[in-house]
Amino acid sequence: MPKYSIVVPFHNEEENVTKLYDRVKDVMEQVDSSFEMVFVDDGSRDRTYRLLEEIAAVDSRVLLIKLRRNFGQTSALAAGFDHASGDAILAMDGDLQHDPAEIPAFLAKLEEGYDVVSGWRAQRADNVVMRRIPSSIANWLMARLSGVDIHDFGTTFKAYRRDVIRNVPLYGEMHRFIPALASWYGASICEIPISNPARESGKSHYGISRTFRVMFDLLTIRFLLKYMTRPLHFFGGLGSLGVVSGTGIAMWLLIHKLLSRHDVAGEHGPWFVIAAVLMLGGLQMIGFGLLGELQVRHYFTDSARTPYVVDRVVRLKPSEESMSR
């Protein structure tokens, strides 16, 4: 069992595959501990998988996972985390914008006792208007809404203890919120500054549209952190307010009718509609809360479902490695 697992998702990164492998290998060989490299091909359409396959054919420390199609970065990371066997897991991008030479700094923080070590791109090389400003706003909102005081949620360059990351469900584009979700489980989190070199080759898969989609994910994270195990407290509260308000209006109309003998329906017709909508809407909200409680029960029931489909897993046996040399 290796002590460290380096998880790297790739999508159309044929120009960077070999360089990244060489750099990660050189760095990790200087670390006085066993390690493995878990490379995930996320449905690449270029020569990325072929190059990874050639690497896995000569190095038994490389575990190669090929997904059937492009599932996205979060799902690719989930596949890598699920197949990694190290006590500590470090994730990084495959575009060489994360410097492998900084890996020992992450591992040192884990050795100090932290559960999650997050990278902070203090000096970013991205476009100011299209990337840096929207990213700064999004990170500020994430820190305020999640209660996790770090500067950079967006970078993939993070290190985790195995028992912590295995408790965090990953789907959609939730990989950037791992520190916030891990904090819900009581994980200790720290942040270290990292460099952000410009991409050496290849094309970026990120755009400003992804930054704006983060805003919607923030609502999900805020709700999950506060009501993940008790959704009825949220929906039930709103529903009860609607039912009580609607019932109060209806009772007022009834008393007014009995005491005045006036045509209440004609005089206060809109209030009848408001009362009915409030009561029906309130009952629906309570129903949503109960359905949410059922989902919570299902969530805490063991399930083998994953947000990805593996096409194949390639790893060279040590005996075969010696023969290939």
Q: What percent of the chain has pLDDT over 90?
A: 43
262-292 pLDDT, tens digit per residue, is: 777 777 778 888 999 999 999 999 998 888 8
Please say if the pLDDT value at position 212 is more than 90.
no
Task: Give the distance, in angstroms, between the CA of residue 2 and the centroid of all CA atoms in the same chain.
Answer: 25
Q: What is the mean pLDDT of residues 205-228?
A: 67
Distance CA 240, CA 148 (A): 32
Helix, strand, coil: what percent of the chain each, to 5?
55, 15, 35
**Average pLDDT over every residue of 11-20:** 93
173-192: pLDDT as tens digits:
778 888 888 887 888 999 99
DSSP class of residue 214 equals H
Please give the distance of CA 79 from its chain centroid, rounded to a whole number: 13
Asked whether 13 and 95 are in contact (CB, 8 A), the reply is yes
User: Which pLDDT score is estimated for 108?
Assistant: 95
Q: Of the spans 83-97, 230-244, 250-264, 304-318, which averages the highest pLDDT?
A: 83-97
* Distance spanning both ends of the chain, measured CA to CA: 23
Which pLDDT value is given to residue 248?
A: 92
Tens of pLDDT, residues 52-62: 999 999 999 99
- The packing angle between helices 208-227 and 231-260, to 10°, is 70
pLDDT reported for residue 125: 60
Angle, helices 17-30 vs 48-56, to 10°: value is 30
Max distance between CA atoms of the chain, in angstroms, equals: 100
Give the pLDDT confidence score for residue 234 in this predicted structure: 84
Residue 310: pLDDT over 70: yes
- Please give the share of the chain, as a percent, with pLDDT higher than 70: 84
